Structure 1
Amino acid sequence: MTLRHSSITLSVWLVSASAPGVGVDIESLVRSLSYQSLLALNSSDQLVDDVLRYAETNAKMREAYWHHKRLTPVDVGKGGMRTTPAQVLHELGVATTLLTASPLSQVARHWAAVRYCATLTRIHGRRLALTPDANEVVYHHKVTQSEQLGVGLALVVAKNLLRRQYRGWTFHAVDAEVALKAGFVDSGGAVESVSRTKKRPDYILLGHHATKTRRRMKIVILECKGTHGSPNFVHGQLARAAVQVEALTVGGSSPPSLMVASHLTQTGITAYVLDPPGDAELWSGDDEELDGLLSTTPADQFWRPRTAIPPRPEVRQTPTAALSPADEAAAEPQLADELPPGAPQVFDIPEHQRGWFTQILTRAVAATALLFAGNNAAASGYATPRQRGAEDPAFQPALFDLDPAWATSSAATFALPNGLSAEGTRHRAPLGRGRVLEVFRGVESRLYRELAEGQVSAYLRDAPSFFGRRAEPPADGSVYSFGRDGTVLVVRVLDSGG
């Protein structure tokens, strides 16, 4: 028996695995997560034309389409890129770690590694594709599956392309809501609601580069899409993404961005990529300057998003100009009922607050890694009061709130190949016939200690070295995924006494 519905609860799936012969199927399924597969990439002038044509055709119904960034194709090379299902699930698990606090959030953080482990496979030609099980779900579950797999695939694609473009840089994903929550409020003092900010991007990729004398930071805005529908549906998704990546400026300039829409089929997955240009650098300084910056705690800000300036249709390919901090301070804020139809809101980070934004993003990176490993208390220490939900919880749900003691998994040391180890949490679920499925997630031990002790600058510098020291996993059917951020995901089937 195989998984017939990606949204069935884990308990139902594992109980059904106790049927005769199922143990072998589960072990085979786990091993398949490590298979190197080809993920097809598509980016061209024709794709740009198709997206612009869709935006122009539908702008009368959705005026937000006039607010998009300039679109350019990306050099994706030939033949696509290599990845594994485990790497996609790993990226998804780290990126979705910052869930709203709940009594079972520790278990929920394992869910990405389990819920979708039967959705990706390698088909003839070694292409990455959906399994038949992934395709046999009802519509509303298929939408959720598309969104979640779209996140994992987009992060794999974006980080691969950025490593080629920026040699020696390491990129970390930060949920955009986390960063914006620390800076922006509405007229009533509460953080903007989802309905008012739904056109914001999904993630901010924080890039870090270290030399003997210099530390540099850059950001890239990432919007992730996924669909089971026709390829034409991708054009609409990218048209909407072009509006969402326009929603953040730093010092009056739009950062560079990537838009990735994954078309999910059983005959192969294709990621469609576009690359709106922008200003790349966020912050630079020496080791001492970065240590000093990251050793201080940033305060919540009380800025308000502004309404995007509607561009003229005939110049819609020109990026929307952002208000300067001085103009923003002088301008009268527009009320919600005065917004132009379809106009998105823009979140302007003032030029003199680049250091503050660097603090917010690096601390979110640290909190994400610690939460992935299960250390909620240390992660909470990296949050601002508003991110922790210290304000009115009716307006401000917590992102970093501690779990009840009964729901918190205890951290454990996990031996890795090549004599390394990781600190994190493991969950086991019975498969029947004396077998269990074990999922471990954590952070390499030295990097974990740096994060737990508040040494974020050292962590950023040391994380890439862990990836270079990783070794081939043991040939026992276990699946290991190592991240360049020092995170580790392990999935394996064991004897219940192991």
Structure 2
Amino acid sequence: MKRADVLRDLAQPWNVAVHSTSDLAGSVAKAATADDKAKREKGQAPLRRKPELRPLPIKPLGISLQLTPWDVLHSLGRANVLARQGAGRGLAEHWASLKYCQALTGNDGRYMALSTEGRNPRRHYAATQSGELGIGFALALARRVLAAQYPDHSVSVIDAEIAMRAGWTLTGKEAGRSSAPRRPAFFLEVWKPGEPSRVIPVTCKGTHGHATQVHKQLATASADVEGIHIGPYNETPTFVFGTTLPKKSESITLYLLQAPGDGTLWGAKDLRLDPPVEDRSIAPGIDAPTDPHEEPPVGYHVRPEECSWFGRVLAQADAAGLMAFTGGGEPTAQYLTKRQGKGHFEAFTHAGTGIVQDVTHTIHGKKFVGTDHVFRLNGVRVEAFSGLAEDLFDHLRDGRVEQYRHEVHTLRDSWDSDPWDANWRGPVSLHPDGTVMALRRLRLS
């Protein structure tokens, strides 16, 4: 595939099939029952799972879902930017999504599918590929679903581990256990300035197998999202996503189920978001209506008295992710606590090895501040850029989370949706949070 074709393909919208039906819910319930039975036969305790998983009406999507490969990679990059899974990447976790630049294409039915390269096991370890691309597809769909359901609100995607580390010990070793309780991968925060946020725990799965494998994965995912309750017991809404990436040229398909609930951080109205967040040591266990002589269910619970604190944790973790996406250590560190990894980002800055926000580009007529990454694509040097709109960047650099949220909320429907910028000469993706990710052939000076 030629370099120009790769860039154009990244900006090509393709249809993506979405399944969320009562039949799917029934199949997942059967998979959960079978898993419970197998565990009992082995003398193991069954998993605690989210009850009442049900289909989500597809109608809120309006027309059939369309995504560009570049938007999927943007969603994946934003999701992983604070993951710190590769020490060698330092502050550049989000650039890992670029390894999939040639993995996605379309088939004859105009639906997105894996490309020939994407189906090459020598280039992409299958489990890693399905898991990571599953995150990108799921979160891109989640943003569309919630934007349709709550058109007067904004939506933020927040790394659950980063947020939860401010209140709980998350590993078995830290907590003196052989293993840690299950927990979701992300929080979707549906918010509007001046109102309490609604929080939706999310787990995303992916497979190269067929729908039967997705049923098993979603049954497991229902245990992940059951691991945390926000506000009253069993009133936390959740999403579980599964994505199939067939090894042939078949269409990629997204599977989605939800659990009903409220998830509102009551008491967090008119919350001040700028003051730094403090680490807490929240008592473990879920406040379930059980026998008082029994141990509470293992897991995490954001109790009413902690809702205001947790609302600030989410907003600042979101701000940390935005600053990391633009490439700076100290601006990221200011929004994290010690347990969340503040020292990691300070260390890169102090050692002079971190990426800095030293690049400014104009995309679709708007100036963005961020960082770049140069690599070879089919032997040609290309430049990737990730950044945040300059005025919004200034607010977060200076610690003004509230001002950022007021302004980005006002701008949420104004971003240019064209996936190609002729002046930039490459694919671009602008998200309602004010971030951009763009790619082009490197200009030689």
TM-score of the two chains, using structure 1 as the length reference: 0.79
Note the C-alpha offset of 1:303: 1.9
Hey, what does 2:99 align to over in structure 1?
115
Is the 8 Å Cα contact of residues 68 and 243 (structure 1) preserved in structure 2? yes
2-structure distance, mates of 1:230, 1:347? 33
CA distance 1:401–1:173, change in 2 (3 Å): farther
1:323 aligns with 2:288: yes
Match of 1:298 among 270, 274, 277: 277
Structure 1 residues 32-62: Cα deviation after superposition (integer angstroms, max 9, x where no partner): 1111111110011111111111111221224
1:475 aligns with 2:422: yes
CA distance 1:418–1:482, change in 2 (3 Å): closer
Structure 1 residues 286-316: Cα deviation after superposition (integer angstroms, max 9, x where no partner): 6xx33xx21322321112432x6xxxxxxxx
Hey, what does 1:346 align to over in structure 2?
299
Structure 1 residues 94-127: Cα deviation after superposition (integer angstroms, max 9, x where no partner): 1100122835323443121x11111111222321
- Equivalent position amino acid for 1:260 in 2: F
Is the 8 Å Cα contact of residues 206 and 219 (structure 1) preserved in structure 2? yes
Note the C-alpha offset of 1:252: 2.7
Hey, what does 1:241 align to over in structure 2?
221
1:422 aligns with 2:401: no
Structure 1 residues 163-198: Cα deviation after superposition (integer angstroms, max 9, x where no partner): 11112211111111112111113899936889413x
Q: Secondary structure at the match of 2:310?
A: helix
- Equivalent position amino acid for 2:240 in 1: M
CA distance 1:133–1:207, change in 2 (3 Å): same
Hey, what does 2:439 align to over in structure 1?
491
1:49 aligns with 2:2: no
1:410 aligns with 2:389: no
1:177 aligns with 2:177: no
1-structure distance, mates of 2:279, 2:164? 10
Is the 8 Å Cα contact of residues 184 and 192 (structure 1) preserved in structure 2? no
Is the 8 Å Cα contact of residues 93 and 109 (structure 1) preserved in structure 2? yes
Hey, what does 1:13 align to over in structure 2?
none
- How do residues 73-84 of structure 1 correspond to structure 2 at under 5 angstroms? 73-77=55-59, 80-84=64-68
Is the 8 Å Cα contact of residues 30 and 479 (structure 1) preserved in structure 2? yes
CA distance 1:187–1:143, change in 2 (3 Å): closer
2-structure distance, mates of 1:404, 1:203? 30
CA distance 1:460–1:399, change in 2 (3 Å): same
Hey, what does 1:365 align to over in structure 2?
318
Is the 8 Å Cα contact of residues 208 and 460 (structure 1) preserved in structure 2? no
Structure whose CA Rg is larger: 1
Q: Which segment is superposed worse, 134-143 or 229-238?
A: 134-143
Hey, what does 2:241 align to over in structure 1?
260
Hey, what does 1:457 align to over in structure 2?
402
Q: Which segment is superposed worse, 222-231 or 188-197?
A: 188-197
Note the C-alpha offset of 1:142: 0.3
Note the C-alpha offset of 1:384: 1.4
2-structure distance, mates of 1:207, 1:282? 11
Is the 8 Å Cα contact of residues 185 and 192 (structure 1) preserved in structure 2? no
Match of 1:439 among 384, 407, 417: 384
Q: Secondary structure at the match of 1:60?
A: helix
Hey, what does 2:117 align to over in structure 1?
133
Is the 8 Å Cα contact of residues 388 and 401 (structure 1) preserved in structure 2? no
Match of 1:68 among 24, 44, 50: 50
Hey, what does 2:42 align to over in structure 1?
none
2-structure distance, mates of 1:379, 1:182? 15
Note the C-alpha offset of 1:282: 1.6
1:29 aligns with 2:6: yes
1-structure distance, mates of 2:169, 2:208? 36
CA distance 1:192–1:248, change in 2 (3 Å): farther
Note the C-alpha offset of 1:453: 0.9
CA distance 1:115–1:143, change in 2 (3 Å): same
Hey, what does 1:87 align to over in structure 2?
71
1:39 aligns with 2:16: yes
Q: Secondary structure at the match of 1:174?
A: strand
Is the 8 Å Cα contact of residues 368 and 379 (structure 1) preserved in structure 2? yes
1-structure distance, mates of 2:14, 2:175? 42
Is the 8 Å Cα contact of residues 3 and 378 (structure 2) preserved in structure 1? no
Q: How many percent of aligned residue pairs carry the same amino acid?
A: 27
1-structure distance, mates of 2:138, 2:352? 35
**How many corresponding residue pairs?**
431
1:105 aligns with 2:86: no
Q: Secondary structure at the match of 2:201?
A: strand
Q: Secondary structure at the match of 2:360?
A: strand
Is the 8 Å Cα contact of residues 15 and 66 (structure 2) preserved in structure 1? yes
Q: Secondary structure at the match of 1:121?
A: strand
Is the 8 Å Cα contact of residues 231 and 264 (structure 2) preserved in structure 1? no
TM-score of the two chains, using structure 2 as the length reference: 0.88
Is the 8 Å Cα contact of residues 172 and 180 (structure 2) preserved in structure 1? no
Is the 8 Å Cα contact of residues 186 and 203 (structure 2) preserved in structure 1? yes
Hey, what does 1:9 align to over in structure 2?
none
Note the C-alpha offset of 1:263: 0.9
1-structure distance, mates of 2:397, 2:202? 28
5+ residue gaps, structure 1: 3-24, 309-321, 335-343, 391-397
1-structure distance, mates of 2:171, 2:353? 37
Alpha-carbon RMSD: 2.9
Q: Which segment is superposed worse, 488-497 or 228-237?
A: 488-497
Bigger RCO (CA 8 Å, 6+ sep): 1
Is the 8 Å Cα contact of residues 386 and 437 (structure 2) preserved in structure 1? yes
2-structure distance, mates of 1:479, 1:68? 39
Q: Secondary structure at the match of 2:135?
A: helix
1:124 aligns with 2:111: no
CA distance 1:360–1:332, change in 2 (3 Å): farther
